[in-house]
A and B are shown apart, each in its own frame.
Chain A
Amino acid sequence: MQLEARNISFRYGNGPYLFRGVNVTVEQGEIVGLTAPSGRGKTTLCRILAGFEKPLEGSVTIDGIPVSSKGFHPVQLVLQHPEKAVNPRWKMEKVLSEGGKPDSELLSLLGIEKEWLTRWPNELSGGELQRFCVVRALNTNTRFLIADEMTTMLDAITQAQIWHAVLEVAKARGMGIIIVSHEEMLIQRLCDRVIELK
Protein backbone atom coordinates (compact mmCIF):
# COMPACT_ATOMS: atom_id res chain seq x y z
CA MET A 1 0.00 0.00 0.00
CA GLN A 2 1.29 3.40 -0.95
CA LEU A 3 0.12 6.93 -0.21
CA GLU A 4 1.10 9.26 -3.00
CA ALA A 5 0.67 13.00 -3.39
CA ARG A 6 1.65 14.06 -6.88
CA ASN A 7 2.31 17.57 -8.12
CA ILE A 8 0.36 19.28 -5.36
CA SER A 9 -0.10 23.05 -5.50
CA PHE A 10 -2.02 25.16 -3.07
CA ARG A 11 -2.81 28.73 -2.15
CA TYR A 12 -5.39 30.37 0.07
CA GLY A 13 -7.82 32.53 -1.95
CA ASN A 14 -5.91 34.71 -4.33
CA GLY A 15 -2.81 34.82 -2.14
CA PRO A 16 0.64 33.71 -3.24
CA TYR A 17 1.23 29.99 -3.83
CA LEU A 18 2.11 28.30 -0.57
CA PHE A 19 3.79 25.54 -2.55
CA ARG A 20 3.74 24.18 -6.11
CA GLY A 21 4.50 20.77 -7.54
CA VAL A 22 5.08 18.99 -4.23
CA ASN A 23 5.50 15.22 -4.38
CA VAL A 24 5.28 12.93 -1.37
CA THR A 25 5.12 9.15 -1.25
CA VAL A 26 4.88 6.97 1.82
CA GLU A 27 4.94 3.19 1.73
CA GLN A 28 3.09 0.86 4.06
CA GLY A 29 4.88 0.59 7.39
CA GLU A 30 7.26 3.41 6.56
CA ILE A 31 7.96 6.28 8.94
CA VAL A 32 8.73 9.51 7.14
CA GLY A 33 9.73 12.86 8.61
CA LEU A 34 8.51 16.11 7.05
CA THR A 35 10.42 19.27 7.90
CA ALA A 36 10.44 22.88 6.73
CA PRO A 37 10.82 26.34 8.22
CA SER A 38 7.64 27.61 9.87
CA GLY A 39 5.07 29.14 7.55
CA ARG A 40 6.00 27.00 4.52
CA GLY A 41 2.74 25.10 4.51
CA LYS A 42 3.56 21.88 6.37
CA THR A 43 0.23 21.85 8.16
CA THR A 44 -1.63 22.72 4.94
CA LEU A 45 0.05 19.82 3.16
CA CYS A 46 -0.96 17.51 6.00
CA ARG A 47 -4.54 18.75 5.73
CA ILE A 48 -4.50 18.01 2.00
CA LEU A 49 -3.14 14.50 2.56
CA ALA A 50 -5.81 13.81 5.18
CA GLY A 51 -8.58 15.12 2.94
CA PHE A 52 -9.50 18.25 4.89
CA GLU A 53 -8.43 20.50 2.03
CA LYS A 54 -8.56 20.04 -1.75
CA PRO A 55 -5.37 20.80 -3.67
CA LEU A 56 -5.62 23.32 -6.53
CA GLU A 57 -3.52 21.09 -8.73
CA GLY A 58 -2.34 17.52 -8.35
CA SER A 59 -3.80 14.46 -6.74
CA VAL A 60 -3.68 12.38 -3.58
CA THR A 61 -4.01 8.66 -4.18
CA ILE A 62 -3.69 5.40 -2.27
CA ASP A 63 -2.36 2.59 -4.48
CA GLY A 64 -3.16 4.82 -7.46
CA ILE A 65 -6.82 5.26 -6.55
CA PRO A 66 -8.07 8.71 -5.48
CA VAL A 67 -9.20 8.70 -1.85
CA SER A 68 -12.99 8.68 -1.59
CA SER A 69 -14.53 11.60 0.26
CA LYS A 70 -17.18 9.24 1.69
CA GLY A 71 -16.78 6.87 4.61
CA PHE A 72 -13.81 6.53 6.91
CA HIS A 73 -10.73 8.36 5.62
CA PRO A 74 -7.73 6.02 5.62
CA VAL A 75 -5.36 8.92 6.29
CA GLN A 76 -5.82 10.34 9.80
CA LEU A 77 -4.35 13.52 11.20
CA VAL A 78 -3.34 14.23 14.80
CA LEU A 79 -2.76 17.90 15.58
CA GLN A 80 -0.50 19.84 17.89
CA HIS A 81 -3.16 21.30 20.18
CA PRO A 82 -5.47 18.52 21.45
CA GLU A 83 -7.68 21.03 23.28
CA LYS A 84 -8.61 22.51 19.92
CA ALA A 85 -9.25 19.11 18.36
CA VAL A 86 -11.96 17.83 20.70
CA ASN A 87 -15.51 19.05 21.21
CA PRO A 88 -15.43 20.84 24.60
CA ARG A 89 -19.08 19.93 25.26
CA TRP A 90 -18.64 16.20 24.84
CA LYS A 91 -17.38 13.83 27.47
CA MET A 92 -14.27 11.90 26.48
CA GLU A 93 -16.22 8.70 25.80
CA LYS A 94 -18.19 10.46 23.09
CA VAL A 95 -15.08 12.16 21.71
CA LEU A 96 -13.48 8.74 21.32
CA SER A 97 -16.53 7.25 19.60
CA GLU A 98 -15.98 9.63 16.65
CA GLY A 99 -13.23 7.26 15.57
CA GLY A 100 -15.29 4.10 16.11
CA LYS A 101 -15.33 1.94 19.22
CA PRO A 102 -11.75 1.51 20.42
CA ASP A 103 -10.69 -1.80 21.94
CA SER A 104 -9.59 -1.77 25.53
CA GLU A 105 -6.15 -3.02 24.58
CA LEU A 106 -5.47 0.17 22.61
CA LEU A 107 -6.68 2.26 25.53
CA SER A 108 -4.36 0.58 27.98
CA LEU A 109 -1.48 0.70 25.52
CA LEU A 110 -1.81 4.48 25.51
CA GLY A 111 -2.22 4.60 29.27
CA ILE A 112 -5.80 5.89 29.24
CA GLU A 113 -7.55 5.17 32.51
CA LYS A 114 -11.19 4.06 32.56
CA GLU A 115 -12.11 6.88 34.88
CA TRP A 116 -10.98 9.51 32.32
CA LEU A 117 -13.73 8.42 29.93
CA THR A 118 -16.43 10.16 31.98
CA ARG A 119 -14.52 13.43 32.24
CA TRP A 120 -14.93 16.62 30.24
CA PRO A 121 -12.02 17.71 28.04
CA ASN A 122 -11.16 20.66 30.32
CA GLU A 123 -10.66 18.25 33.22
CA LEU A 124 -7.72 16.55 31.53
CA SER A 125 -4.18 17.76 30.94
CA GLY A 126 -2.80 18.28 27.42
CA GLY A 127 -0.88 15.01 27.57
CA GLU A 128 -3.94 13.08 28.65
CA LEU A 129 -6.08 14.69 25.93
CA GLN A 130 -3.51 13.96 23.25
CA ARG A 131 -3.65 10.25 24.13
CA PHE A 132 -7.37 10.35 23.33
CA CYS A 133 -6.73 12.09 20.01
CA VAL A 134 -4.22 9.40 19.10
CA VAL A 135 -6.63 6.58 19.94
CA ARG A 136 -9.40 8.32 18.00
CA ALA A 137 -7.15 8.41 14.94
CA LEU A 138 -6.12 4.76 15.28
CA ASN A 139 -9.29 3.12 13.96
CA THR A 140 -8.53 -0.26 12.40
CA ASN A 141 -9.23 1.28 8.97
CA THR A 142 -6.47 3.85 9.37
CA ARG A 143 -3.69 3.08 6.90
CA PHE A 144 -1.60 6.19 7.34
CA LEU A 145 -1.21 8.43 10.37
CA ILE A 146 -0.01 12.01 10.14
CA ALA A 147 1.45 13.41 13.34
CA ASP A 148 1.61 17.19 12.96
CA GLU A 149 3.76 18.31 15.91
CA MET A 150 1.85 15.67 17.84
CA THR A 151 4.00 15.71 20.98
CA THR A 152 5.47 19.22 20.82
CA MET A 153 3.44 20.47 23.76
CA LEU A 154 4.22 17.46 25.95
CA ASP A 155 6.98 16.66 28.38
CA ALA A 156 9.68 14.21 27.36
CA ILE A 157 8.31 11.27 29.36
CA THR A 158 4.78 11.63 27.97
CA GLN A 159 6.24 12.14 24.49
CA ALA A 160 8.22 8.91 24.70
CA GLN A 161 5.22 7.02 26.12
CA ILE A 162 2.94 8.10 23.27
CA TRP A 163 5.49 7.41 20.55
CA HIS A 164 6.33 3.96 21.89
CA ALA A 165 2.62 3.10 21.82
CA VAL A 166 2.08 4.51 18.31
CA LEU A 167 5.13 2.70 16.91
CA GLU A 168 3.91 -0.56 18.40
CA VAL A 169 0.52 -0.18 16.71
CA ALA A 170 2.13 0.89 13.42
CA LYS A 171 4.39 -2.11 13.42
CA ALA A 172 1.61 -4.56 14.20
CA ARG A 173 -0.66 -3.17 11.47
CA GLY A 174 1.90 -2.12 8.89
CA MET A 175 0.64 1.45 9.12
CA GLY A 176 2.63 4.27 7.52
CA ILE A 177 3.39 7.44 9.53
CA ILE A 178 4.30 10.97 8.50
CA ILE A 179 5.90 12.96 11.30
CA VAL A 180 5.97 16.74 11.15
CA SER A 181 8.30 18.16 13.74
CA HIS A 182 10.95 20.79 14.26
CA GLU A 183 12.66 18.59 16.77
CA GLU A 184 15.60 17.22 14.90
CA MET A 185 16.45 14.70 17.59
CA LEU A 186 12.93 13.25 17.55
CA ILE A 187 12.95 12.96 13.74
CA GLN A 188 16.34 11.27 13.82
CA ARG A 189 15.17 8.84 16.46
CA LEU A 190 11.91 7.85 14.76
CA CYS A 191 12.11 8.23 10.98
CA ASP A 192 13.30 5.97 8.19
CA ARG A 193 13.77 8.98 5.92
CA VAL A 194 13.10 12.71 5.90
CA ILE A 195 11.43 14.91 3.28
CA GLU A 196 12.39 18.57 3.36
CA LEU A 197 9.77 20.93 2.01
CA LYS A 198 11.46 23.77 0.14
Chain B
Amino acid sequence: MSVLEVKDLLISFNQYTSGLKQQQLNVISNLTITLEKGEILAVVGASGSGKSLLAHAILGILPSNANVSGTLRYDGEVLTPAKQASLRGSEIALIPQSVNYLDPLMRVGNQVRTSARVENPVTAQRKVFERLHLHENVEKMYPFQLSGGMARRTLLSTAIVSGAKVIIADEPTPGLDPVVIKEAMESFRELADSGCAVMLITHDIVSALSIADKIAVFYAGTTVEIAPVENFAGDGEALRHPYSKALWRALPQNDFIPIPGAQPHPGDLPPGCLFAPRCPLATPECDRGQPEMRTLRDGMVRCIHAT
Protein backbone atom coordinates (compact mmCIF):
# COMPACT_ATOMS: atom_id res chain seq x y z
CA MET B 1 0.00 0.00 0.00
CA SER B 2 1.15 3.55 -0.67
CA VAL B 3 2.36 5.18 2.49
CA LEU B 4 2.18 8.63 0.98
CA GLU B 5 -0.16 9.73 -1.77
CA VAL B 6 -0.20 13.10 -3.49
CA LYS B 7 -3.12 13.68 -5.84
CA ASP B 8 -3.80 16.65 -8.16
CA LEU B 9 -1.63 18.91 -6.06
CA LEU B 10 -1.79 22.59 -6.95
CA ILE B 11 0.34 25.19 -5.25
CA SER B 12 0.07 28.87 -6.02
CA PHE B 13 1.63 31.93 -4.45
CA ASN B 14 0.00 35.31 -3.90
CA GLN B 15 2.44 37.90 -5.05
CA TYR B 16 2.25 41.67 -4.87
CA THR B 17 2.92 43.23 -8.25
CA SER B 18 2.63 46.95 -7.68
CA GLY B 19 1.02 48.76 -4.77
CA LEU B 20 -1.80 46.61 -3.42
CA LYS B 21 -2.29 44.65 -6.63
CA GLN B 22 -1.78 40.92 -6.25
CA GLN B 23 -1.36 38.13 -8.72
CA GLN B 24 -1.50 34.37 -8.34
CA LEU B 25 1.44 32.37 -9.57
CA ASN B 26 0.78 28.68 -10.14
CA VAL B 27 4.05 26.98 -9.34
CA ILE B 28 2.83 23.38 -9.12
CA SER B 29 -0.14 22.03 -11.03
CA ASN B 30 -1.77 18.61 -11.54
CA LEU B 31 0.92 16.83 -9.59
CA THR B 32 0.23 13.20 -8.71
CA ILE B 33 2.78 10.97 -7.08
CA THR B 34 2.84 8.04 -4.65
CA LEU B 35 5.47 6.71 -2.28
CA GLU B 36 5.48 3.02 -1.44
CA LYS B 37 6.90 1.28 1.61
CA GLY B 38 10.34 -0.13 0.95
CA GLU B 39 10.74 1.91 -2.20
CA ILE B 40 12.97 4.77 -3.23
CA LEU B 41 11.47 7.28 -5.62
CA ALA B 42 14.00 9.63 -7.14
CA VAL B 43 12.71 13.00 -8.30
CA VAL B 44 14.78 14.71 -10.98
CA GLY B 45 14.11 17.58 -13.33
CA ALA B 46 14.72 21.20 -14.14
CA SER B 47 15.99 23.59 -11.48
CA GLY B 48 12.99 25.58 -10.31
CA SER B 49 10.46 22.96 -11.42
CA GLY B 50 8.90 22.75 -7.95
CA LYS B 51 10.71 19.72 -6.53
CA SER B 52 11.50 21.39 -3.20
CA LEU B 53 8.02 22.90 -3.01
CA LEU B 54 6.53 19.42 -3.21
CA ALA B 55 8.70 18.38 -0.27
CA HIS B 56 7.67 21.42 1.72
CA ALA B 57 3.99 20.88 0.87
CA ILE B 58 4.14 17.31 2.20
CA LEU B 59 5.59 18.56 5.48
CA GLY B 60 3.26 21.55 5.64
CA ILE B 61 6.03 24.11 5.88
CA LEU B 62 5.22 26.32 2.91
CA PRO B 63 5.25 30.10 3.52
CA SER B 64 1.97 31.76 4.46
CA ASN B 65 1.30 33.27 1.02
CA ALA B 66 1.06 29.80 -0.53
CA ASN B 67 -2.31 28.25 -1.43
CA VAL B 68 -2.46 24.48 -1.60
CA SER B 69 -5.23 22.37 -3.09
CA GLY B 70 -5.51 18.70 -4.00
CA THR B 71 -5.18 15.80 -1.60
CA LEU B 72 -2.27 14.53 0.45
CA ARG B 73 -2.68 11.23 2.26
CA TYR B 74 -0.41 9.52 4.73
CA ASP B 75 -1.19 5.86 5.47
CA GLY B 76 -4.60 6.38 3.89
CA GLU B 77 -5.49 9.34 6.11
CA VAL B 78 -5.84 12.88 4.78
CA LEU B 79 -2.96 15.08 5.87
CA THR B 80 -4.34 18.14 7.63
CA PRO B 81 -2.06 20.93 8.86
CA ALA B 82 -2.44 19.61 12.44
CA LYS B 83 -1.60 16.10 11.36
CA GLN B 84 1.41 17.33 9.41
CA ALA B 85 2.67 19.18 12.47
CA SER B 86 2.46 16.05 14.60
CA LEU B 87 4.09 13.79 11.98
CA ARG B 88 7.01 15.88 10.84
CA GLY B 89 10.25 15.03 12.51
CA SER B 90 8.84 11.79 13.93
CA GLU B 91 7.14 9.91 11.09
CA ILE B 92 8.12 12.09 8.15
CA ALA B 93 11.65 13.50 8.10
CA LEU B 94 13.08 16.09 5.77
CA ILE B 95 16.69 16.47 4.76
CA PRO B 96 16.55 20.11 3.69
CA GLN B 97 18.31 21.43 0.63
CA SER B 98 20.01 24.39 2.25
CA VAL B 99 22.71 23.97 4.88
CA ASN B 100 21.24 27.14 6.42
CA TYR B 101 18.70 24.88 8.15
CA LEU B 102 21.23 23.92 10.83
CA ASP B 103 20.86 25.75 14.14
CA PRO B 104 23.82 28.17 14.13
CA LEU B 105 24.04 28.27 17.93
CA MET B 106 23.99 24.56 18.71
CA ARG B 107 26.87 22.08 18.46
CA VAL B 108 26.13 19.78 15.53
CA GLY B 109 26.42 16.58 17.59
CA ASN B 110 23.61 17.81 19.82
CA GLN B 111 21.49 18.72 16.81
CA VAL B 112 21.69 15.18 15.53
CA ARG B 113 20.96 13.73 18.99
CA THR B 114 17.77 15.76 19.44
CA SER B 115 16.27 14.11 16.38
CA ALA B 116 17.23 10.55 17.42
CA ARG B 117 14.16 8.77 18.72
CA VAL B 118 15.71 5.33 18.87
CA GLU B 119 18.23 3.61 21.18
CA ASN B 120 20.84 5.77 22.84
CA PRO B 121 20.99 9.15 21.02
CA VAL B 122 24.72 9.61 21.69
CA THR B 123 25.76 6.23 20.29
CA ALA B 124 23.34 6.62 17.40
CA GLN B 125 24.89 9.97 16.52
CA ARG B 126 28.47 8.66 16.80
CA LYS B 127 27.65 5.63 14.71
CA VAL B 128 26.17 7.66 11.89
CA PHE B 129 29.04 10.20 11.97
CA GLU B 130 31.54 7.39 11.64
CA ARG B 131 29.60 5.90 8.79
CA LEU B 132 29.58 9.21 6.91
CA HIS B 133 33.29 9.79 7.58
CA LEU B 134 32.82 12.68 9.97
CA HIS B 135 35.70 12.93 12.44
CA GLU B 136 34.92 12.53 16.17
CA ASN B 137 35.71 16.14 16.97
CA VAL B 138 33.08 17.35 14.48
CA GLU B 139 30.29 16.66 17.00
CA LYS B 140 31.60 19.50 19.19
CA MET B 141 31.71 22.01 16.32
CA TYR B 142 29.23 24.73 15.45
CA PRO B 143 27.81 24.94 11.90
CA PHE B 144 30.01 27.90 10.91
CA GLN B 145 33.10 25.75 11.51
CA LEU B 146 31.99 23.11 9.01
CA SER B 147 32.72 22.95 5.32
CA GLY B 148 29.78 22.65 2.93
CA GLY B 149 30.18 18.88 2.68
CA MET B 150 30.43 18.39 6.44
CA ALA B 151 27.25 20.43 6.97
CA ARG B 152 25.43 18.28 4.42
CA ARG B 153 26.52 15.12 6.19
CA THR B 154 25.21 16.53 9.47
CA LEU B 155 21.82 17.11 7.86
CA LEU B 156 21.87 13.59 6.47
CA SER B 157 22.69 12.20 9.92
CA THR B 158 19.65 13.83 11.52
CA ALA B 159 17.32 12.00 9.14
CA ILE B 160 19.14 8.67 9.37
CA VAL B 161 18.86 8.56 13.18
CA SER B 162 15.27 9.87 13.24
CA GLY B 163 13.59 6.50 12.74
CA ALA B 164 11.02 8.14 10.45
CA LYS B 165 8.88 6.04 8.11
CA VAL B 166 9.01 8.52 5.26
CA ILE B 167 12.23 10.31 4.43
CA ILE B 168 12.24 13.19 2.02
CA ALA B 169 15.77 14.05 1.00
CA ASP B 170 15.98 17.35 -0.87
CA GLU B 171 19.31 17.43 -2.73
CA PRO B 172 21.26 15.67 0.02
CA THR B 173 24.52 15.18 -1.86
CA PRO B 174 25.83 18.23 -3.74
CA GLY B 175 29.37 19.12 -2.71
CA LEU B 176 30.08 15.65 -1.31
CA ASP B 177 32.88 13.48 -2.58
CA PRO B 178 32.08 10.16 -4.29
CA VAL B 179 32.99 8.02 -1.24
CA VAL B 180 30.54 9.86 1.00
CA ILE B 181 27.86 9.93 -1.70
CA LYS B 182 28.12 6.18 -1.94
CA GLU B 183 27.73 5.80 1.84
CA ALA B 184 24.78 8.18 1.84
CA MET B 185 23.10 6.31 -1.01
CA GLU B 186 23.66 2.98 0.71
CA SER B 187 22.13 4.36 3.92
CA PHE B 188 19.04 5.34 1.95
CA ARG B 189 18.82 1.88 0.43
CA GLU B 190 19.11 0.28 3.88
CA LEU B 191 16.39 2.57 5.23
CA ALA B 192 14.14 1.57 2.36
CA ASP B 193 14.92 -2.12 2.77
CA SER B 194 13.93 -1.84 6.43
CA GLY B 195 10.49 -0.56 5.37
CA CYS B 196 10.92 3.20 4.95
CA ALA B 197 9.67 5.07 1.94
CA VAL B 198 12.29 7.44 0.58
CA MET B 199 11.82 10.36 -1.77
CA LEU B 200 15.17 11.43 -3.13
CA ILE B 201 15.13 14.80 -4.86
CA THR B 202 18.35 15.17 -6.80
CA HIS B 203 20.23 16.37 -9.87
CA ASP B 204 22.65 13.51 -9.53
CA ILE B 205 20.78 11.10 -11.79
CA VAL B 206 23.69 8.68 -11.89
CA SER B 207 23.85 8.19 -8.11
CA ALA B 208 20.07 7.97 -7.96
CA LEU B 209 20.10 5.20 -10.56
CA SER B 210 22.26 3.04 -8.30
CA ILE B 211 19.63 2.83 -5.55
CA ALA B 212 16.23 4.09 -6.71
CA ASP B 213 13.32 1.94 -7.83
CA LYS B 214 11.49 4.56 -9.86
CA ILE B 215 12.35 7.96 -11.19
CA ALA B 216 9.90 10.84 -11.55
CA VAL B 217 10.86 13.62 -13.95
CA PHE B 218 9.60 17.12 -13.17
CA TYR B 219 9.22 20.04 -15.52
CA ALA B 220 7.63 23.44 -14.85
CA GLY B 221 5.73 22.32 -11.77
CA THR B 222 4.40 18.96 -12.84
CA THR B 223 5.49 15.39 -13.49
CA VAL B 224 6.16 14.66 -17.14
CA GLU B 225 7.23 11.06 -16.67
CA ILE B 226 7.54 8.30 -14.09
CA ALA B 227 9.86 5.56 -15.25
CA PRO B 228 11.55 2.49 -13.83
CA VAL B 229 15.29 3.08 -13.39
CA GLU B 230 16.26 0.60 -16.10
CA ASN B 231 14.93 3.05 -18.71
CA PHE B 232 17.73 5.49 -17.97
CA ALA B 233 20.33 3.81 -20.15
CA GLY B 234 22.04 4.14 -23.52
CA ASP B 235 20.72 7.03 -25.59
CA GLY B 236 17.59 7.20 -23.48
CA GLU B 237 15.57 5.47 -26.21
CA ALA B 238 13.50 3.63 -23.57
CA LEU B 239 12.40 6.92 -21.98
CA ARG B 240 8.95 8.22 -22.81
CA HIS B 241 8.94 12.01 -22.61
CA PRO B 242 11.06 14.23 -24.89
CA TYR B 243 12.16 16.28 -21.87
CA SER B 244 13.42 13.19 -20.01
CA LYS B 245 15.37 12.22 -23.10
CA ALA B 246 16.89 15.70 -23.42
CA LEU B 247 17.82 15.71 -19.73
CA TRP B 248 19.48 12.31 -19.99
CA ARG B 249 21.44 13.26 -23.10
CA ALA B 250 22.68 16.52 -21.57
CA LEU B 251 24.64 14.65 -18.88
CA PRO B 252 28.42 15.02 -19.18
CA GLN B 253 28.89 11.26 -19.57
CA ASN B 254 26.36 11.17 -22.42
CA ASP B 255 26.29 13.77 -25.21
CA PHE B 256 26.60 16.89 -23.00
CA ILE B 257 24.56 18.72 -25.63
CA PRO B 258 21.79 20.90 -24.20
CA ILE B 259 18.52 21.68 -25.92
CA PRO B 260 18.06 25.47 -26.28
CA GLY B 261 15.66 27.62 -24.31
CA ALA B 262 14.58 27.69 -20.70
CA GLN B 263 11.74 26.35 -18.59
CA PRO B 264 8.73 28.74 -18.74
CA HIS B 265 8.25 31.13 -15.84
CA PRO B 266 5.23 30.31 -13.60
CA GLY B 267 3.58 33.62 -14.51
CA ASP B 268 3.88 32.93 -18.18
CA LEU B 269 3.00 29.27 -18.81
CA PRO B 270 2.15 28.10 -22.32
CA PRO B 271 -1.53 27.24 -22.93
CA GLY B 272 -1.06 23.55 -23.69
CA CYS B 273 1.77 21.17 -22.98
CA LEU B 274 4.33 22.98 -20.82
CA PHE B 275 7.26 21.59 -22.79
CA ALA B 276 5.83 22.31 -26.25
CA PRO B 277 7.81 25.55 -26.89
CA ARG B 278 11.10 23.59 -26.64
CA CYS B 279 9.89 20.27 -27.98
CA PRO B 280 11.15 18.81 -31.27
CA LEU B 281 7.94 16.78 -31.59
CA ALA B 282 5.51 19.65 -30.98
CA THR B 283 2.47 19.94 -33.25
CA PRO B 284 -0.48 22.41 -33.11
CA GLU B 285 -2.39 19.76 -31.14
CA CYS B 286 0.05 20.16 -28.26
CA ASP B 287 -1.21 23.69 -27.59
CA ARG B 288 -4.77 22.50 -27.00
CA GLY B 289 -4.55 21.95 -23.27
CA GLN B 290 -2.15 20.14 -20.98
CA PRO B 291 -1.96 16.41 -21.76
CA GLU B 292 -3.15 14.01 -19.05
CA MET B 293 -0.76 11.62 -17.38
CA ARG B 294 -1.20 8.22 -19.01
CA THR B 295 0.23 4.76 -18.50
CA LEU B 296 2.72 3.65 -21.09
CA ARG B 297 5.11 0.69 -21.11
CA ASP B 298 5.36 0.11 -17.35
CA GLY B 299 5.58 3.83 -16.61
CA MET B 300 3.62 7.07 -16.87
CA VAL B 301 3.97 9.93 -19.31
CA ARG B 302 2.36 13.30 -19.97
CA CYS B 303 2.77 13.62 -23.73
CA ILE B 304 0.37 12.90 -26.58
CA HIS B 305 3.17 11.86 -28.93
CA ALA B 306 5.01 9.46 -26.66
CA THR B 307 5.11 5.86 -27.79
Chain A residues at the B interface, C-beta cutoff of 8 Å: 36-39, 41, 43, 80, 111, 113, 125-128, 149, 152-161, 163-164, 182-186, 188-190
Contact = CB atoms under 8 A, between A and B. Distances in A.
8 contacts: A38-B175, A153-B171, A155-B46, A156-B247, A157-B46, A161-B258, A164-B258, A190-B252
Interface in B234-254: 246-248, 250-253
**Interface of chain B, main secondary structure:** loop
A158 to B, nearest CB: 6
Interface stretch (B83-91, B144-152, B296-304): B144-152
B136 interface: no
A147 B180 CA distance: 22
Given A39-B147, A39-B149, A189 B252 contact: yes
Contacts of A158: 46-47, 258, 262
B250 A182 contact: no
B224 interface: no
A160 B174 contact: no
A158 B246 CA distance: 11
Contact of A43 (B148, B179, B205, B248): B148
Contacts of A149: 148, 174-175
Contact of B174 (A113, A152, A185): A152
Contacts of B180: 37-38
Contacts, number: 106
Contacts of A188: 252-253
Given A182-B175, A188-B252, A189-B252, A155 B203 contact: yes
Interface of B: 44-48, 146-150, 152, 171, 174-181, 203-206, 246-248, 250-253, 256-263
Contacts of B261: 111
Given A152-B174, A183-B204, 19 more contacts: A37-B177, A38-B149, A125-B48, A127-B262, A128-B262, A152-B175, A153-B171, A155-B45, A156-B258, A157-B246, A157-B250, A158-B47, A160-B250, A160-B258, A164-B258, A182-B177, A183-B252, A185-B251, A186-B252
A63 to B, nearest CB: 32
Nearest to A18: B147
A43 B246 CA distance: 32
A154 B203 contact: yes
A185 B247 contact: no
Contact of A80 (B175, B177, B256, B262): B175
A188 B178 CA distance: 15
Contacts of B175: 38, 80, 149, 152, 182
